[in-house]
Chains A and B, each alone.
Chain A
């Protein structure tokens, strides 16, 4: 089941949605985002779901700021 009912239009590229990721998180560990490797200490923009995942695996430097 989908968690949200607003399904995208047919053929809509997920890449365009990724760009909408607007939450900045500072990495505590090396991480790969959008197929680019980022070193610890770098700040990247992610979606809310991605931020939650990164916090759960301890990749975000300061979860309170995220």
Chain B
């Protein structure tokens, strides 16, 4: 009889959707690690029937079920879950006559994320790109020695306004901490490189990501990551004998010989 091994080296995809919904699961992108944690509280009844003591009875009660996930890709829905955020999409558009206060050595942040700035003007005076101003990621800055800087300096303490015409990019807007956390269902679709070399999947019915997560926005050593903890909450809709209210694992079996 062949030796049957059940060792595991798993790779796979983590996906999520709103808990209780029938929506398709959306990908979470690459995650470096997924860990389940189950915490228990031990109740012990001291044995007082003998002078030596001991434990008369003991029981462990579940106090929490959790997931630890190290996210390495940040799709908008992932950021929304991590940051308890509401999200919206702003389509690309064109904008004229957007007025801003200009300053030397400062960035004028435009209302929308610019794709291309066509004109910066003050009344009938227009300023030239590269000579007078340059576009930055979210707006524009004055060029030292340029006409815009000179005009701002000439204005002295008086505010110097410019109007900007530009086309903007399509963006997702993520407003952090605007809700108390979405309840999400996670699906892990994995495959085992060892043992049976078959598939394995896990469903975590009702989860809430903890926003107390550090994200390395700037790092010279590694790609950006966010190690997040997640509470797996009991899902009361999962009823029936031997049905888990927390999570379920399915592992594919080898074909019968």
Q: Please give me the residue from chain A that is nearest to B163 by CB atom.
A: A14
What separation, in Å, do the CA atoms of A1 and B120 have in the docked complex? Answer: 12
Chain A interface: which size bin? 20 to 34
Q: Known: A2-B128, A10-B158. Is A57-B167 also a contact (CB below 8 A)?
A: yes
Q: Point out the residues of chain A lying under 8 angstroms from B124, CB to CB.
A: 4, 6, 8, 17
What separation, in Å, do the CA atoms of A57 and B118 have in the docked complex? Answer: 10
What separation, in Å, do the CA atoms of A31 and B112 have in the docked complex? Answer: 13
B77 at the interface (CB under 8 A from A): no
Give min CB distance, B85 to chain A, whole Å: 24
Interface segment out of the listed B12-20, B90-98, B207-215, B220-228: B90-98
Q: Known: A17-B123, A32-B94, A50-B97. Is A3-B162 also a contact (CB below 8 A)?
A: no
Q: Point out the residues of chain B lying under 8 angstroms from A56, CB to CB.
A: 118
What separation, in Å, do the CA atoms of A64 and B119 have in the docked complex? Answer: 22
B65 at the interface (CB under 8 A from A): no
Residues in A lying within 8 Å of B, measured CB to CB: 1-4, 6-8, 10-18, 20-21, 29-35, 46-47, 49-50, 53-54, 56-57, 59
Q: Please give me the residue from chain B that is nearest to A51 by CB atom.
A: B96
Q: Is the CB of A8 within 8 A of B123?
A: yes
What separation, in Å, do the CA atoms of A2 and B122 have in the docked complex? Answer: 10
What separation, in Å, do the CA atoms of A12 and B158 have in the docked complex? Answer: 8
Q: Which positions 91-132 of chain B face chain A at CB distance < 8 Å? A: 93-99, 111, 118-119, 121-128, 131-132
B29 at the interface (CB under 8 A from A): no
Main secondary structure of the interface of B (DSSP, over half): strand
Question: Besides the contacts A32-B98, A34-B96, A50-B97, what 13 more A-B pairs have beta carbons closer than 8 Å?
Answer: A1-B147, A2-B125, A4-B124, A8-B125, A10-B160, A13-B159, A17-B121, A20-B123, A21-B97, A34-B98, A35-B97, A49-B121, A54-B96
Give min CB distance, A24 to chain B, whole Å: 14
Main secondary structure of the interface of A (DSSP, over half): loop
Q: Known: A10-B155, A15-B161. Is A33-B147 also a contact (CB below 8 A)?
A: no
B151 at the interface (CB under 8 A from A): yes
What separation, in Å, do the CA atoms of A63 and B10 have in the docked complex? Answer: 61
Q: Is the CB of A31 within 8 A of B96?
A: yes
What separation, in Å, do the CA atoms of A57 and B146 have in the docked complex? Answer: 27
Q: Is the CB of B125 within 8 A of A6?
A: yes
B234 at the interface (CB under 8 A from A): no
Q: Is the CB of B118 within 8 A of A31?
A: no
